[in-house]
Amino acid sequence: MERDLRSLGGELESYPVLELVPLLAERQATGLLTLERGALRRSFDLSKGAVVRASSSEPREYLGQMMVDYGMVSSHEAASAFWDQEAKRVLLGKVLPMRGALDEPRVREALLLKIRESLLDCYRWTHGTYLFEPGEVAEARGLEVAVRLSELHREALHRAREWRRFRKLFPSPEAKLLAVDGKHGHAVQPDEEIIVELAREGLTVRKALDAFRDGEYRAYRRLAGLVDKGFLEVVPAQDVPPSDRELARDRLKLAKRLLAIGRPAEAVTLATLASAGMPSRVASVVLRDARVELALRLADELLSAEGVPHIGPDAHELGRLDLPPAERYLLLRIDQTHNLRQTVREAPMGELEALRILQRFVEEGILVFREEVPAKRAAAK
């Protein structure tokens, strides 16, 4: 039975997700749960003790990008679906089956995976904020999915044991991985075989994790499997790197100095890293100020540029560009509308991220500004 629950909010340091989720599950909560750590914000729509939708402020966690990372769709298919989503006002989960890129069961699988991985990852947050606002959630416009909070909590407890094993097996991200020759009696996946080959030339745990694109937990699990099967062995790093908190404090100090002398782009980068290593209100404020300053500067540079934005001559075939779906989507918008201001305003990843991507496109010649040819003169030609 659903029980009344008032708004809840505070610091994860004093009330972690490990304690928050069981409460919401026991109360059969309905409303919006928002978890923030640094620049990352994740939101979960709850209905009677189940998560029915998950969203993130991080473009790498968008549904389309996740599907690409898990090999469900190609980057081009995801970008085209993004475009249809905006043009037809239909959610991505509906667009992909309509286009024949993915059937509904696979889309449903992806939506459930997004919910699970998003919330389960938050169990590892030691700093940040939470806010639960009770109230009816919006009716689903796409495929309906739901995962019980109680089920997610049980999975989180199991993963906690797994994470302890991972930390023991891989004491540092800078630890070296060595390939072990010989007959192992086990088969490996093609992408795992690449990791083993790279380990022959010298590979750190951090670089191996980056090579797997299916989430940190799954990446650690697959890496641990290669060690358990005897394909790899772990060699502890010789030099002990500074702790994450020490590194975060140094980065935050430098971010403040860079912001003060008018270098917001570098300040955003360092403040983002600092927030990830040591989330705090101070880090969040510095990051927010740096992002605002950077957005203002990029908007002034890009939106005041003379001419009409076009895709550059070397980038007219989008299929040849190895770009994430969100970036490919921005180029599709520019190619269709030639309206930079509208593209930035409606970008799904937010204005600042869109401006940063477009600035990089200009620097790389992917995006150019040309003088618009008047319609009458063009017709005369």
Please give the full DSSP string across 139-182, using - where no structure is assigned.
PPSS----EEHHHHHHHHHHHHHHHHHHHHH-S-TT-EEEE--S
What pLDDT shows up at residue 379? 44
Nearest to 229 by CA among 191, 176, 193, 175: 193
Between 159 and 245, the higher pLDDT residue:
159
Between 210 and 153, the higher pLDDT residue:
153
Q: How confident is the model at residue 20 (pLDDT cuts 50, 70, 90)?
A: very high
Handedness of CA 237, 238, 239, 240 (dihedral sign): positive
Q: What angle do CA 109, 111, 115 make, to 5 degrees?
A: 115
Read off the pLDDT of residues 200-256 as tens digits, 9 standing for 90 and up: 877 888 888 888 877 889 889 989 999 998 899 998 766 545 666 778 888 889 999
Question: Among the listed ranges 40-44, 343-347, 354-358, which one has the minimum average pLDDT value?
Answer: 343-347
Q: Are 32 and 5 in contact (CB under 8 A)?
A: no
How does the average pLDDT of the chain come out, rounded? 82
Strands 40-47 and 31-37: antiparallel
Q: How confident is the model at residue 90 (pLDDT cuts 50, 70, 90)?
A: low
Between 2 and 79, the higher pLDDT residue:
79
| Residue 76 clears pLDDT 50, i.e. is over it | yes
Q: What is the mean pLDDT of residues 319-328?
A: 71
Helix (H/G/I), strand (E/B), else coil: 133: strand
Label residue 251 exposed, middle or buried (CB < 10 Å: 0-12, 13-18, 19+). buried
Supply the DSSP symbol for 16: -
Helix (H/G/I), strand (E/B), else coil: 249: helix
Q: How confident is the model at residue 360 (pLDDT cuts 50, 70, 90)?
A: confident
Q: What angle do CA 6, 8, 13 make, to 5 degrees?
A: 160
Q: How confident is the model at residue 378 (pLDDT cuts 50, 70, 90)?
A: very low
What pLDDT shows up at residue 154? 96
Read off the pLDDT of residues 171-194 as tens digits, 9 standing for 90 and up: 888 888 988 876 566 777 777 888
Considering the entire predicted model, what is its pTM? 0.68
Which domains are delineated in the chain?
8-162 (no CATH), 173-235 (1.10.10), 244-370 (no CATH)
340: amino acid identity, one letter: L
| Residue 1 clears pLDDT 70, i.e. is over it | no
Nearest to 6 by CA among 37, 35, 27: 27
| Residue 97 clears pLDDT 90, i.e. is over it | no
Strands 147-148 and 31-37: unpaired
Read off the pLDDT of residues 123-136 as tens digits, 9 standing for 90 and up: 999 888 999 999 98
Strands 40-47 and 50-56: antiparallel
Question: Among the listed ranges 8-12, 339-343, 358-362, which one has the minimum average pLDDT value?
Answer: 339-343
Q: What is the mean pLDDT of residues 361-369?
A: 81
What pLDDT shows up at residue 377? 39
In whole angstroms, give the CA distance from residue 186 to residue 266: 46
Read off the pLDDT of residues 27-62 as tens digits, 9 standing for 90 and up: 999 999 999 987 789 999 999 999 999 999 887 788
Supply the DSSP symbol for 59: G
What pLDDT shows up at residue 53? 92
Supply the DSSP symbol for 372: P
The per-type count for the chain, helices as H runs and strands as E runs, is 16, 11
Task: Provide the token pair at 26.
Answer: 């026991």
Neighbour order of strands in the sheet with 40-47: 8-11, 129-134, 31-37, 40-47, 50-56, 147-148
Q: Which one of 107-116, 149-158, 243-252 scores highest in mean pLDDT? A: 149-158
Question: Among the listed ranges 221-235, 264-278, 340-354, 367-381, which one has the minimum average pLDDT value?
Answer: 367-381
| Residue 108 clears pLDDT 70, i.e. is over it | yes
Q: Are 204 and 176 in contact (CB under 8 A)?
A: yes
Q: What is the mean pLDDT of residues 332-348?
A: 77
